[in-house]
Structure 1
């Protein structure tokens, strides 16, 4: 072993085993910051290339169906990348007697600009409808443009994707980045900057900032691999977090809050328990109501 050669970690080996035959060696290398040759050598060392798990394994019914559905909207490389197969699989196309109805529609500069400008601020479903492109085609195109980690839960995800997974507003994520030191990475594609957040780094940060999240609202395994402590925290938040936390205040609630605090002399903690809000939520709302009354 070379003196400067980077040792493989258990996490990298686990990722490699999970993604072997699902992703190309090139894409696995990009996620792990390793060369394609290094990935290939590690696969041999881990004995992944055996009779039951070989590169030339038979195509499944699901893969055949995907090929039939996308033969007219994706090229060989895009289909191969999505299925983790070699792009040169024309023999399979011939066996299934598939032919493309027309020449594939090439990506235009306008489409690339739209994709880059709105990726991260709009969902892929919305972009797909706007450009009349399949989700798989969008993923493949983003990878070609140098934006990696699209719709993957093992690498970097965008601020928009993280906000969607956590059921919070996008601006909340930016606030955590600016004021709570949420780890992030900035990448470029043409003239656009993308803020990427690594899933494992996010969970480490979240473990020390549990008060900022209501884990009971985060579906199980939304961001994998999910640490063991999250399950326990999810149960705790379900029973201890206010039921209507972060719900918009109504005029009736404002009037009741004002009356209980100034007329009945109740504490913010008591009011929060009575109306299903946190003490800090009650405190913030009182401050807003005071400012509102001063300006009117």
Structure 2
């Protein structure tokens, strides 16, 4: 490494304040840019910039809009000097929010995409999110009239959230996709949900749906919840008393009658009898023909949005028989599709 001469050091001291490193490398052709930087550090030469009013005004206008690196390049100084000057002249990096901007944020939060809010205000998406947190206006979804489809399924609490989710999609619930934090989430407007639920209440179970958990409810929901609770079948572990009662009932009654008396599903009773190696009492049931009154009652209950367990209890028939009759009358065992056909009559 060639030592610096006294003449080169003098040239460096005289020109460093007013020239960039690129220009100094041309003035000192025998020295690389890296060598010049190291020599400046060793000599402790401070390149102090004299800030004019115009410079300060430019810094004040652009400090919150541009990156510090760009401003440093414009003034041909280090980023540290830019930050020091901003601190000296009390120029905030963050652009202050006007009251109009804050009001706009409160009004549109939860309704308008965050990217659109940021574009309208001329701010970055992180800046908009940060301001929403500081204003304590809550999460994006929480402040609209929307609820995520998954959260709705958990709220209804019908035992199997995933199955409820699939059922709702199959029933064409009017949900939309919203992009939140780089993720697409299915959400639904609460008012549209109530309208859809009324049309499809026969396929929904509100027995475990907490009252007013989604705000004010339509009047029909209270009656629907009451009916579902009334016809709700028991689930879970069988007690010893239930098992003994089932064994006694099986001596004289068929599975349908046992199901009514124990408030358990027929499938659950068959399973318990199978585990105990007890044959179910099938008997010799006589074929019971459907009367015109029964068919009219069936159609009426389908129009009212009743479920199969409610219909079978009202008609005194098992679920298999009721499903078979619905299939025969409407060419489908879906109560929703059968209701649609009845509405078209």
Q: TM-score, normalised by structure 2?
A: 0.35
Higher relative contact order (CA 8 A, sep 6+): 1
State the TM-score, normalizing by the size of structure 1: 0.40
Higher gyration radius (CA) = 2
